[in-house]
Structure 1
Amino acid sequence: MNDIPRQDGRVAVITGGSSGLGFETARALADHGAAVVLAVRDIGKGEQAASRIAAHVPGANVTVQNLDLSSLASVRAAATDLRSAHPRIDLLINNAGVMYTPHQKTADGFDLQFGVNHLGHFALTGLLLDHLLPVPGSRVVTVSSYGHRIRADIYFDDLQWDRTYDRVAAYGQAKLANLMFTYELQRRLAERGSTVAVAAHPGNASTELTQNLPALARVASAAVKPLLAQSAADGALPTLRAATDASVLGGQYYGPDRMRETRGHPQLVTSSAASYDLATQRRLWSVSEELTGVTFPV
């Protein structure tokens, strides 16, 4: 945290900023002078989080924006509010997510994990991007997961898991999509020369995401947590480095440096071979535009 440069004058929009990794990311950025927007589904929890940050950082500039990533109508409404309130955005941190949920659909009929983790953030980024493009040093940081390596592929023949449902594979698809989105977005941004797209993952961090693990997996997770899991504050470090380190380049991916990327200090890491497939990235982008109705100004 001490390595974060001053963020005075910068505006950071963080999805899922009321708890876990998002809250720790927001608190650190506010502590270093950024104006922070907590884009959250539950306004009450968002206001509580803002109060906690203000108590920790006297004079902090923290506001709350309603955003339900499982509804494209909510994403569009939030983008309209954010564009009105913030003519410039320096950081968009796509942090919110769900993991291993039972088979559920979003308001628009998408698989919940794919809809929230990928499509909601894809739409939000596209709707806000023209407020980042003119800003020197602006960044889109998307939080992926080591889970992008586990039974993961982009299942174009059943993206929404209508025929069968595997919660682990569905999570892997969504987190792989986060990386493919980042890499394709960076290629499109490269011609503009200012805004960059970067990805990060927290390793094995202790957050509320594990609440949907199957019963046996929850027991096993609780047993190994003291040995393997790191705090949410430590899990947020790769995101913070991706968002603030002056040496970061577009298209990079940051994660912990120890114990097979489960914990430690943030470092540059490599994602799975599948995540770098250009044809799949481009096909996913095209499908995501069709499903969300959002096109990008790049």
Structure 2
Amino acid sequence: MPFTTTVITGATSGIGKETAMALAKKDHAVYMLVRDMERGEELRQEIIAVTKNKNVYVLKCDLADMASVRDAAGVLKASLMAVNILINNAGGIFAERHESKDGYEMTFAVNHLSHFLLVNNLLPLLQKGQARIINVSSEAHRMAKPNFNDLQWLKRPYSAWKAYGTAKLFNIYFTRSLAIKYGPKGISAFALHPGLVNTGFGTGLTGIGKTLMWLARPFMISAESGAQTSIYLASAARIDAKSGKYFKNRHVASPSAQATDELGRNRLWDLSMEMIKPFTDQ
């Protein structure tokens, strides 16, 4: 692959950091969208020191604030001719129901809707770059209980794991929709499960969720290992024929039967498009 421009969210820790470092070593120009600019700048300096690649940049982007996502996309469009790789890596699980700045349930906003907006606002650059869009999902999608009449968890008791699993299912829906809608325009899209990674994920959980994470700790893999599928999808040659697929351990895997629900996938797209309208350039 010639000079490659890569944009990644959630790069300041965990698998995002390992992915950004690895791709900088492969001479990608790496644009890290971060909430904490101080941490982002520290990481930028670290990556440059380790890789000797000076084409590493940090942009402010708070995924819990749709205007911030819109503004970050605007900066990229003003700065770049094309984007070749977009890695929607950031995510989170929240013990209690919180709302984003725009009033959306936080799990839904951070794991799905913000990335949906980012992709839609970057479409001109993604099409010019014949881009690969890589969405970090999870095997937690198998716990999903989507209710399209209550995406914001207002009408039922909030469950951290069900909300998270549903958002990760939505990552797979989004991937498949992108492959179908924009494949003819040269864009490919992939979803992946990084593995059960030993990072700060889930540290805010309480009760049974906290206990489950503690029990799983001895079986977790390193962030470096967890980043390998993202790195593979961002750098491997000749994988565009597998666009729309779900990956584990750098291989195509079968998601849940629910992940193939075309009606649910299309409904998510339509609802998401309606939600992002105030923040799009169209």
Q: Distance in 1 between the 2:100 and 2:209 partners?
A: 25
When residues 252 and 289 of structure 1 are mapped into structure 2, their CA distance, relative to the original with a 3 A threshold, is same
Q: Distance in 1 between the 2:214 and 2:179 partners?
A: 38
Deviation at 1:223, TM superposition (A): 4.3
Deviation at 1:8, TM superposition (A): 5.2
SS in 1 for 2:155: coil
Runs of 4 or more consecutive aligned structure 1 residues displaced over 4 Å after TM superposition:
294-297
Q: Distance in 2 between the 1:278 and 1:296 partners?
A: 27
Other-structure match for 1:149: 142
TM-score under structure 1 length normalisation: 0.89
Deviation at 1:191, TM superposition (A): 2.0
Q: Distance in 1 between the 2:53 and 2:203 partners?
A: 34
Other-structure match for 2:25: 31
> Is 1:107 the equivalent of 2:101?
yes
SS in 1 for 2:184: coil
- Matched to 1:85, the amino acid is S
Deviation at 1:190, TM superposition (A): 2.3
In 1, are the aligned partners of 2:20 and 2:30 still within 8 Å (CA)? yes
Q: Distance in 2 between the 1:29 and 1:212 partners?
A: 30
In 1, are the aligned partners of 2:31 and 2:56 still within 8 Å (CA)? yes
In 2, are the aligned partners of 1:202 and 1:255 still within 8 Å (CA)? yes
Of 56, 76, 79, 2:50 maps to 56
In 2, are the aligned partners of 1:200 and 1:242 still within 8 Å (CA)? no
- Matched to 1:283, the amino acid is R
Other-structure match for 2:223: 232
Question: Could you report, residue by residue, the CA deviation over 1:237-286 in whole angstroms, capped at 9, with x for unpaired residues?
Answer: 11112222113221121113xxxxxxxxx221111111111111111100
- Matched to 1:189, the amino acid is Y
Structure 1 gaps of 5+ residues are 1-6, 257-265
Other-structure match for 1:66: 60
Q: Distance in 1 between the 2:281 and 2:214 partners?
A: 42
Other-structure match for 1:214: 206
Q: Distance in 1 between the 2:207 and 2:198 partners?
A: 17
Other-structure match for 1:4: none
When residues 109 and 155 of structure 1 are mapped into structure 2, their CA distance, relative to the original with a 3 A threshold, is same
In 2, are the aligned partners of 1:54 and 1:62 still within 8 Å (CA)? yes
CA RMSD of aligned residues (A): 1.7
Other-structure match for 1:259: none
Q: Distance in 2 between the 1:88 and 1:101 partners?
A: 38
- Matched to 1:65, the amino acid is L
Other-structure match for 1:175: 168
Identity of aligned residues (%): 36
Question: Could you report, residue by residue, the CA deviation over 1:193-243 in whole angstroms, capped at 9, with x for unpaired residues?
Answer: x210111111101111121222454344334423x1100111011111222
SS in 2 for 1:24: helix
Other-structure match for 1:283: 267
In 1, are the aligned partners of 2:64 and 2:106 still within 8 Å (CA)? yes
TM-score under structure 2 length normalisation: 0.94
Structure 2 gaps of 5+ residues are none
SS in 2 for 1:141: strand
Q: Distance in 2 between the 1:59 and 1:178 partners?
A: 31
SS in 1 for 2:7: strand
